[in-house]
Structure 1
Amino acid sequence: MTAVRMAAVSAPFDRDLEQDFARIAALIDRARADGVQLLALPEACLGGYLANLDGDADGPPPLEADGPEIKRLAALAGDLVVTAGFCERADGALYNSAVCVTGDGVLGLHRKVHQPLSEDATYRAGERFTAFDTPVGRLGMMICYDKAFPESARELALDGAEVVVCMSAWPGSRTGATAELARDRWKRRFDLFDRARALENQIVWLSANQSGEFGDLRFVASAKIVDPGGDVVACTGVAEGLAVADIDVTEALTTARRSMGHLRDRRPATYTAIGSGIDAALDTASDVGELARSATE
């Protein structure tokens, strides 16, 4: 069994693509010098995220998955497996996307499925979660708000993902904000989701996030690596940096799943609300109580 050295990045990115590429190149050089094999960059690291969450008319530069910028990223990656977020232009629409590359090219692509607040004014939603094979194991990707939904990570785990990389531009709270970012309530949620998704699926979890400020947003950083037991094994805190850890993925998953296998012990036939009419009704009900009342009338 062989350990994989992996790293999750917390760093700032903006609209200046050349500056973004310079920062990415430096991060890749640093990771390579440290023996890292899997490097997770944040959401929207190519061109920056939206300047605010109420709609951004001057959004990130649209790039194509087979365009020169992604090819440039792959060339920088070389022998590393690198994941990165960008604004994708495809089929006449824009997507908040993530790509996984090596020097050989694109290994995987994910389009953000769940859209918070007014993000849908800029992006079309993705439609699926799919795992894929890489030189460091079978990976799954998701973006930011995707991790608030247990079904996202569970779909990837059931598709065989051993490692899930979640790339974010997760900001601090806009209401009741605290000067001490480490105590921010949105940071607390960010951290809870990371640990819960790893534990409930017994997978290795990499969480990369933007840091610093951009537009109206102040990002919580907090890049981390979480093991299949839900324990944080490396974290940047609220500062810019790399969270680095060596994990024997096969051994870690085998050990975590030996006694209690959360995927193995599921009882899908009992989860009758998932994918049923109740899910659709929840979309239109003002709250769960309203739905419950209507069901008894």
Structure 2
Amino acid sequence: MTTELRAAALEVGVRLGDVDGNLERLRSALERGAASGAHLLVLPELATSGYVFDDAAEAAQAAVTRDDPRFDALRAALPEGVVAVFGYLERDGDRLYNSAVVITRDATIGQYRKAHLWDREREIFDVGDTAGAVFDTAVGRLGVAICYDNEFPEVPRALALAGADVLALPVNWPLVPRPDGEHAPEIIQAMGSARSSRLPTVIADRAGSERGVRWTGGTVVIDGDGWIAAVPDDGIAVADLRLSPGDKSLNPRNDLFGDRRPDLY
């Protein structure tokens, strides 16, 4: 059975180290996303803290625990039936993680710790012990990964095989050179992954710059055919996505998952 999901990916003006200010900006973004009628809201990686820290000691000053009471205000900003995903800098004892949380008005549905660390992230964060995660939510089975995770094709494919209906992807994509007129390479990879698993993907990226790092501004919603369904308009990208839980049929003779030959590869 095919269902429709309105999803929104939101840019947020994150400021490095300003946890209270970032939480307030996240709250405002969630309210704006909910006002669009979207039932899935995705916000960037490390949205509570910023990204370009000098070292682990500086990052620790902007870390929060997964049960931080300030998250209550974010949940309160969500109407019933709306699911939100955002990245945060998690402190667990002496360890720091690049994490994402899935919340609703009434509960925290789940947490995910990034498994594939990019560049100097290795100097700051411990690695997660799963490559993405899938959560049962009011909008369907929601896959969650973070940024560099998605550049490993095995990750979105494994999430789709695990039953994910849609993928939420908080990112901080540093701007890299590309030919004129081309999409960012990370967007191209996400489009290919979405198409190869018929997995709609909602990506929230940073815009602007932080400590000399320019962000790609790659916020985008990709549909299950791998096409771009929405790009930001004044900081928010909204699209209506078709979800077909458990159905990977392409035509009467072909099924995307049924035709796989894992014995050959």
TM-score, normalisation: structure 2? 0.89
Q: Secondary structure at the match of 2:20?
A: helix
TM-aligned CA distance change 1:47 to 1:230, over 3 Å: same
Give the 5 Å matches for 1:4-15.
Answer: 4-14=5-15, 15=17
Is the aligned partner of 1:250 residue 2:250?
no
**Deviation string, structure 1 residues 82-135 (Cα, Å, up to 9, x no partner):** 100001112531110000100111112111100111211100011113211110
Q: C-alpha separation between the residues in 2 aligned to 1:222 and 1:78?
A: 27
Q: Which moved more, 1:72-81 or 1:256-265?
A: 256-265
Paired residues in the alignment total 260
Is residue 100–residue 107 contact of structure 1 (8 Å, CA) maintained in 2? Answer: yes
Q: Which moved more, 1:42-51 or 1:257-266?
A: 257-266
Is the aligned partner of 1:267 residue 2:261?
yes
Q: C-alpha separation between the residues in 2 aligned to 1:58 and 1:172?
A: 24
Q: Quote the residue 1:200 is aligned against.
A: 196
Q: Percent identity?
A: 31
Offset of 1:158 from its aligned partner?
1.2
Offset of 1:164 from its aligned partner?
0.5
TM-score, normalisation: structure 1? 0.80
TM-aligned CA distance change 1:254 to 1:214, over 3 Å: same
> Which runs of 4 or more aligned residues in structure 1 lie more than 3 Å from their structure 2 counterparts after TM superposition?
182-185, 251-260
Q: Quote the residue 1:151 is aligned against.
A: 154
Q: Quote the residue 1:83 is aligned against.
A: 85
Q: Quote the residue 1:163 is aligned against.
A: 166
Is the aligned partner of 1:99 residue 2:105?
no
User: Which protein has the larger Cα radius of gyration, Structure 1 or Structure 2?
Assistant: 1
Q: Quote the residue 1:59 is aligned against.
A: 59
Q: C-alpha separation between the residues in 2 aligned to 1:49 and 1:257?
A: 44
Q: Secondary structure at the match of 2:30?
A: helix
Unaligned stretches of 5+ residues in structure 2? none
Q: Which has the higher helix share?
A: 1
Offset of 1:211 from its aligned partner?
1.0
**Deviation string, structure 1 residues 49-97 (Cα, Å, up to 9, x no partner):** 1247xx5652261111122133332222342211000011125311100
TM-aligned CA distance change 1:62 to 1:259, over 3 Å: farther
TM-align CA RMSD: 2.5
Is residue 10–residue 222 contact of structure 1 (8 Å, CA) maintained in 2? Answer: no
Q: Quote the residue 2:224 is aligned against.
A: 228
Unaligned stretches of 5+ residues in structure 1? 272-297
